[in-house]
Structure 1
Amino acid sequence: MDIRTLIIAAGLLAAAAPVAAAPTAPNQNATGKALILVPLTLTKIDDLSFGSIVPSSVSGVVAIDATTGARTVAGGVTGIASDPGNRAYFAGGGSPSQTVIITMTQPAQLTSIAGDTIPLLALTLQGSPIKIIDPVTRTFFFGIGGIIIVNADQPEGIYGATFTVTANYQ
């Protein structure tokens, strides 16, 4: 019994003996990293406006181009040149080359304070709904246009509606 105890003790003493360190080169370099995240933003610059128009006894259409902001009138509608309307314009920011998907909710109509309505045929987005954030400026821009149908003898008034624009960052 005493012999076993000595053998175990001898094994523990051998394991506790110091080990010689291997030589290393002096002045080893290390690197550090940091990940900086840019806040994701979407800002409205301009509202969509169809401008001032004069209806007639014939229905007509007013369209605002999403890319240029130019207004087109057709049918029994006359556009007032001093108020030609404009596209809605948005700017966004985020990480370089990040993909952003733009979606919109379209109201069915524009409504006046008196409760009269003008049907909103469509909201149109400039280009593809998939936007890529510029790698240098870290921004992206896009316009939204639309098409309304002005009824024959449409009552006068200021018509409006709200639509939501969402940027889904991928």
Structure 2
Amino acid sequence: MSIKLFAAAAVIALGALSSPAFAQSASTTGTGSITVIRPLTITKNSDLKFGAVVRPTTGSGTAVVSAAGVRSVTGGVAGLASGDTPVAAAFTVAGEGGQSVSITIPATFSMINGSDTLTVTTSNNLTGSAAAQTLSNALGSAGSLAFAVGGSVPVSSTQATGLYTGTFTVSAAYN
């Protein structure tokens, strides 16, 4: 009986080898898409100006221009009405409406007069995180974001007199 069983198994095996194999197949389609948006631009509308100040007679004080453009002085520093009118720096970022952008403003920058240096600590009027700003309007329309940068600068009684100037760079990038 085992020979008959062996013979039957051999016949089945030979039949399986000689018959064609049918493989399963499947397919689907994919799609592609792209959203093209406007490039970002950034425009400087005004520079940060502290105006003319008188250094304190002793110790040190501070001159501050808020992001709203209002100057205040402390610690014996006196602000003068003559000279440059105090004003915050103002910038406008333009690009695709409704898009999220990151604004980068340095925390400090230096202003120099010959070999003398003053360090400005910046402030701004951005709401929330500078890394999560949104341009006005909606996708398909031009959008913008205006912001201002103020700052504070310490002035000591031994600070050399003269005009101090310096630059700082603000930038914007799509998130």
TM exceeding 0.5: yes
Aligned ranges 1:12-161 → 2 under 5 Å: 37-58=37-58, 59-66=60-67, 68-82=68-82, 83-112=84-113, 114-120=114-120, 122-127=121-126, 128=128, 129=130, 130-135=132-137, 138-161=143-166
Identity among equivalent positions (%) equals 34
Q: Which segments of 5 or more consecutive residues in structure 1 lack a partner in the other structure?
A: 1-33
- The answer to whether the Cα contact below 8 Å between 1:106 and 1:163 also exists between their aligned partners in 2 is no
> How far apart are 1:137 and its partner, in Å?
5.5
In terms of mean alpha carbon deviation, does 93-102 or 126-135 score higher?
126-135
- Find the aligned partners of 1:57 and 1:153 in 2 and give their Cα distance: 8
> How far apart are 1:123 and its partner, in Å?
0.7
Q: Kindly provide the amino acid, as one letter, of the partner of residue 149 in structure 1.
A: P
- Find the aligned partners of 1:61 and 1:40 in 2 and give their Cα distance: 36
Q: Kindly provide the amino acid, as one letter, of the partner of residue 144 in structure 1.
A: V
> How far apart are 1:108 and its partner, in Å?
4.7
- Find the aligned partners of 1:103 and 1:39 in 2 and give their Cα distance: 17
- Find the aligned partners of 2:39 and 2:89 in 1 and give their Cα distance: 23
1:91 to 1:108, Cα distance in 2 relative to 1, 3 A: closer
Q: Kindly provide the amino acid, as one letter, of the partner of residue 69 in structure 2.
A: G
- The aligned residue for residue 168 of structure 1 is 173
- Find the aligned partners of 2:110 and 2:42 in 1 and give their Cα distance: 25
> How far apart are 1:36 and its partner, in Å?
5.7
Cα deviations across residues 130-162 of structure 1 (Å, max 9, x unaligned)?
321111661110000111000113221110111
- The aligned residue for residue 24 of structure 1 is none
> How far apart are 1:106 and its partner, in Å?
4.3
- The number of aligned residues is 135
- The answer to whether the Cα contact below 8 Å between 1:119 and 1:150 also exists between their aligned partners in 2 is no
CA RMSD, Structure 1 to Structure 2 (Å): 2.1
Q: Kindly provide the amino acid, as one letter, of the partner of residue 143 in structure 1.
A: A
